[in-house]
Amino acid sequence: MTEHLTIVEHPLVQHKLSLMREADTSTKSFRQLLREISLLLAYEVTREMPMTTKRIETPLCEMDAPTIEGKKLALVSILRAGNGLLDGILELIPNARVGFIGLYRDPETLQPVQYYFKVPDALHDRLTIVVDPMLATGNSSAAAVDLLKKAGANNIRFLCLLAAPEGVARMKAAHPDVPIVTAALDSHLNDHGYIVPGLGDAGDRMFGTK
């Protein structure tokens, strides 16, 4: 991918996102919409994967049929909200390898601190797609990508549902080599770090917590 930021303006994505933004959308509907939208976003983020051909036999003749080249891709979810995107994408790419990164914000330094890290092997040979619905300050996303690069990943894409300009700028400064795919670029972050207009706390909305 050559663009640093891709906004998926497909009508289905935009319609579903608008439903997700509405404050009175139920947990059940929010989860279902996130699953549906994640399939459409996965379609976009996996564009330009290297292809090869394999010789197959149809009922009529032999042909060189296109197939995806290389090792299975890796999906890495940033806990906990990343899991909402992950579940849908796994329906489309059931062979993907899956990793998880847990980060919390140190109350003193406000910097992300890792509490869980488990990722597939041979990341240097895999397209690695990091998933987190909300790219807000970009601090945890940049930290997650740092950790993945240390673990050997060298072909990383970042997939989110909503991005704030602050988060996009942070990622571009820290990781200009990591393309971002999102359904929308919102206006700004408020004083509490929420994306405006946004959709609230994605984790709370998908899991029904407060």
Q: Least distance in Å: CB of 6 to ligand URA?
A: 20
With contact defined as beta carbons under 8 Å apart, do 117 and 78 qualify?
Answer: no
Q: Is 166 in the site for ligand URA (CB under 6 A)?
A: no
Please return the burial class of 194, using the count of CB atoms within 10 Å of its CB with bins 0-12, 13-18 and 19+. Answer: middle
Q: Is 202 in the site for ligand URA (CB under 6 A)?
A: yes
Q: Is 167 in the site for ligand URA (CB under 6 A)?
A: no
Task: Classify 166 as helix, strand or coil.
Answer: helix
Which of 198, 206, 208, 209 touches ligand URA by CB under 6 A? 198
Q: Least distance in Å: CB of 189 to ligand URA?
A: 7
Q: Determine the Cα–Cα distance for residues 175 and 146; give it in Å rounded to an integer.
A: 8
The H-assigned helical ranges of 122-179 are: 139-150, 165-174
Q: Determine the Cα–Cα distance for residues 63 and 76; give it in Å rounded to an integer.
A: 35
Q: Determine the Cα–Cα distance for residues 196 and 202; give it in Å rounded to an integer.
A: 13
Contacts of 24 (CB under 8 A, 6+ apart): none
204 is catalytic: yes
105 is catalytic: yes
Q: Least distance in Å: CB of 7 to ligand URA?
A: 17
Between 46 and 141, whose beta carbon lies closer to ligand URA?
141
**Sites of contact with ligand URA (CB under 6 A):** 81, 134, 136, 193-195, 198, 201-203
In the annotated binding site for 5-phospho-alpha-D-ribose 1-diphosphate, the residues are 80, 105, 132-140, 201
Annotated binding site: 80, 105, 132-140, 195, 200-202
Return the active site residues. 105, 109, 201, 204
